[in-house]
Amino acid sequence: MMAFGLPRAAAVVTLVLGLAAASAMADDVEMVFLKSAVAKGAVCLDGSAPVYHFSPGSGTGANNWIVHMEGGGWCKTPEECVIRKGNFRGSSKFMKPLSFSGILGGNQQFNPDFYNWNRVKVRYCDGSSFTGDVEEVDSKTNLHFRGARVWDAIIEDLLNKGMSKAKSAILSGCSAGGLAAVLHCDKFKDLLPPSAFVKCVSDAGYFIDG
């Protein structure tokens, strides 16, 4: 029993130590506050500027892009959405720098396929999977339902950064961000060069609203 258990345990320890080492080497990724989007009405629930994190590509990945949309469920009532105004789920005022890992990681050993791509994480602050586009703002709650505008503004900024020349591109997301990947997939592809190889990845993005 021990003869089989020890190598397996050692492998687990090695994996954990390797992941910890990769995490320790990771630096905070550039945090882009898209203040120019505010004038277009592309804002978080509280009216603050949308945010994304960007790590530029290099070498063979210089013209390849992966855009990952953050998850975080929905707010289904004005009362729930008001609560989000007081945290990073509804306001960029509470967002903090972060490091990339997984498919966004910059370590070749742990992310050999995408480590040198242009890697983007779009922060989620609208509570509706980047779909809201309501012009009116309730004077009592000061809630802005502008998720679709946020998505459009950030994608436009990325296109201006070089994504308009992408050879390969992936739009991905988890949970509410995964649903957004499904909803925005066709538009994302249409905005890129016809020759670009484009895929969309929805991680846990299909769920039933019970």
Domain of residue 174 covers 31-203
Given this model, what pLDDT does residue 67 score? 98
Q: Would 16 be classed as within a structural domain?
A: no
* pLDDT band of 87, cuts 50, 70, 90: very high
Q: Would 54 be classed as within a structural domain?
A: yes
Q: Would 24 be classed as within a structural domain?
A: no
Number of domains in the chain: 1
pLDDT (mean) for 170-194: 98
32-41, pLDDT tens digit by residue? 999 999 999 9
Q: Would 132 be classed as within a structural domain?
A: yes
Q: Would 146 be classed as within a structural domain?
A: yes
**pTM (predicted TM-score):** 0.87
Q: Would 42 be classed as within a structural domain?
A: yes
> In sequence order, what DSSP letters do the residues of the chain get, joined into one string?
-HHHHHHHHHHHHHHHHHHHHHHHH--BPEEEE-GGGGGGT---TTSPPPEEEEE---GGGTTEEEEEE-------SHHHHHHHTTSTTT-GGG----B--GGG---TTT-TTTTTSEEEEE---SSSSS--------TTT-----HHHHHHHHHHHHHHTTGGG-SEEEEEEETHHHHHHHHHHHHHHHHS-TT-EEEEEEES------
Given this model, what pLDDT does residue 64 score? 98
**How much is the mean pLDDT over the chain?**
90
Given this model, what pLDDT does residue 210 score? 55
* pLDDT band of 84, cuts 50, 70, 90: very high
